[in-house]
């Protein structure tokens, strides 16, 4: 699959605004590991290979456990995820699938049991920003890096 276009080059002022929003989200005070999980999970749902690859690499480089990343798509069935991570991932899935879920009160209540209103607002901005970035990457067919496969040791 070939890239369709380079949105950053075609609309630099608009893309820069999105990049500034993403930088602000990263500085919002939310736990970095939690942000990685949220960004990866939304990117998985949206089918954005570029963003999954990028954010998995970032998470690994910042020390997130590989096993947790392997099990992220099945977080409900794994005991590796904390109560806060479960609340954030549930909120991520509902905000990302807003057309399907309408974000039921139960999802907000579950997030509110763990996070303050400010933290939920920060999470919502983080989720909305990665969803925007996913849409830009998928629409333009941004290509993730291809690394040689390593044989299992």
User: What is the end-to-end Cα distance of the chain in Å, rounded?
Assistant: 31
pLDDT digits (tens, 9 = 90+) for 5-17: 889 999 999 999 9
Which of 131, 92, 99, 133 shows the shortest CA–CA distance to 115? 92
Task: Characterize 105-130 residue by residue with b for buried, 16 or more Cβ atoms within 10 angstroms of its Cβ, and e for exposed.
Answer: eebbebbeebbeeebbebbbbbbbbb
Domains of the chain: 8-140 (1.20.1290.10)
Q: How many CB atoms lie within 10 A of CB 79?
A: 6
pLDDT digits (tens, 9 = 90+) for 93-106: 999 999 997 999 99
Which pLDDT tens digits describe the chain residue by residue (153 residues)? 788 888 999 999 999 999 999 999 999 999 999 999 999 999 999 999 999 999 999 999 999 999 999 999 999 999 999 999 999 999 999 999 999 979 999 999 999 999 999 999 999 999 999 999 999 999 998 777 666 655 555
């Amino acid at each position: 699959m070939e890239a369709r276009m380079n949105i950053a080059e075609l609309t630099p002022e608009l893309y820069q605004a999105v990049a500034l929003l993403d930088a602000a989200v990263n500085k919002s005070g939310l736990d970095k590991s939690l942000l990685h999980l949220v960004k990866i999970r939304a990117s998985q749902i949206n089918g954005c290979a570029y963003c999954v690859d990028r954010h998995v690499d970032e998470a690994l480089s910042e020390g997130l456990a590989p096993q947790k990343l392997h099990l992220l798509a099945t977080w409900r069935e794994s005991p590796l995820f904390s109560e806060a991570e479960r609340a954030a991932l549930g909120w991520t899935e509902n905000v990302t699938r807003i057309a399907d879920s309408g974000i039921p009160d139960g999802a907000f209540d579950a997030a509110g049991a763990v996070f303050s209103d400010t933290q939920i607002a920060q999470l919502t901005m983080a989720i909305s920003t990665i969803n925007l970035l996913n849409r830009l990457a998928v629409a333009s067919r941004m290509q993730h890096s291809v690394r040689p496969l390593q044989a299992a040791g």
